[in-house]
Chains A and B, each alone.
Chain A
């Protein structure tokens, strides 16, 4: 079996398993009581950050294709995007459970009063239609509209970044790094749009 065959056969199962490692490590740490003094906060920060990382990986697929002619990566984009949604959903569930205690009055208030929570929730909400249409049936059914619909990922990335940046307290390093990466990934697309004009 040569490398190409190997990739064709095992690439997707491997990515599926590797992408579950962050979650596995968090669950393991939780069971070992190794999440620190404030485990809720650790879980929220970690799952949120992994959602953003998968979002960035998803966005990186097409520039990687363009810059390095890595055509194979395109096969993995769907799974990366779904994992972004997966980690964002866990993030949301933990917030609802531990911070809001499933109290809708509190949840509504937080959503209305705190812009960073609003943009974070909006990012997750916009991921729902993308997640639900990430199957061949939807791609066939939606035809051209599918592509337009999935352009929402740009807005989602901006909202997710805002969600992070709005929470800066003492250091802006993290927000700066993620912001630069997202900007670079947008840049290639902007060039394309610019050329078309």
Chain B
């Protein structure tokens, strides 16, 4: 489907796109190393075909699904989203993919499915960062969403970007995009989806629970303990034009998602 950007359409922001080169060479994907340039350097070793996803838990149709089968009959559309990293930088990226809700419906979750948990591939032979002895992360990388968040029309599964297939450093062959949450929620290279009745423990919650919450909604009023979230650097930035901009509540998607958190203390559920 062609993109039709407009001011009031949350699926397409009209802000300047981050150049392809920057979006593919400045990444956090610790499976390939902790430096921002590591993923671009080392993700070439990742083999993404064949690829299958295990579906478990509270669903009528559990099983291991081949990615090709999951993508059959799916309408690939483009979304231009802001991406806000918890480290206070941001980008604007044109993703290709489909709503997560479309996929979830096919597995027929039961009434007990209140949360959904994701896991990233563990393959140390191809993922250099997983061989590091100094990593604070207990692989596999895990993320999760509440069911209503997962079913929200903004929540997206991406298989491509910039009109091309997704590159390893961006989470090939399939990754999550939750544009109103900090980037680390948007888990990459997904191999497992589990439906549960209990809130799953995410990787970053396990590493530093006082710094990373389950929700991780972009919120300029709740600082990360080690840095402020009030501003962000829109990348690419330059020394002459630092492009420091104010961070928006829910990364600018408040009109669409604020109702999900009505009555919740966002300082407590950060």
> Which A residues are closer than 8 A to B by beta carbons?
30, 33, 35-41, 43, 98, 101, 106, 109-110, 113-114, 116, 166-173, 176
For the complex, what is the distance from the CA of A39 to the CA of B22, rounded to whole Å? Answer: 12
The answer to whether residues A37 and B36 also contact, given A98-B242, A167-B226, A170-B30 and a CB cut-off of 8 A, is yes
Q: List B residues 180-239 near A (Cβ within 8 Å).
A: 223, 225-228, 230, 233, 235-239
Instruction: Identify the stretch in B6-14, B52-60, B131-139, B155-163 within 8 Å (CB) of chain A at 4 or more residues.
Output: B131-139
Q: Is B114 an interface residue (CB 8 A)?
A: no
By the criterion of a CB under 8 Å from any partner CB, how many residues of chain B are at the interface? 27
Q: A40 to B134, Cβ gap below 8 A?
A: no
Q: How many A-B residue pairs have CB under 8 A?
A: 65
Q: B225 to A114, Cβ gap below 8 A?
A: yes
The B contact surface, by secondary structure, is: loop
For the complex, what is the distance from the CA of A166 to the CA of B227, rounded to whole Å? Answer: 12
For the complex, what is the distance from the CA of A52 to the CA of B62, rounded to whole Å? Answer: 53
Contacts of A30 in B (CB 8 A): 239
Q: A170 to B242, Cβ gap below 8 A?
A: no
Contacts of B135 in A (CB 8 A): 170-171
Q: B238 to A171, Cβ gap below 8 A?
A: no
Task: Pick the contact of B37: A36, A113, A114, A172 (CB < 8 A).
Answer: A36
The answer to whether residues A38 and B236 also contact, given A101-B244, A110-B228, A171-B134 and a CB cut-off of 8 A, is yes
Contacts of A40 in B (CB 8 A): 233, 237, 239, 242
Contacts of B22 in A (CB 8 A): 37
CB distance from B53 to the nearest CB of A (A): 25
Residue of B nearest to A106 (CB): B228
CB distance from A190 to the nearest CB of B (A): 26
Q: B238 to A172, Cβ gap below 8 A?
A: no
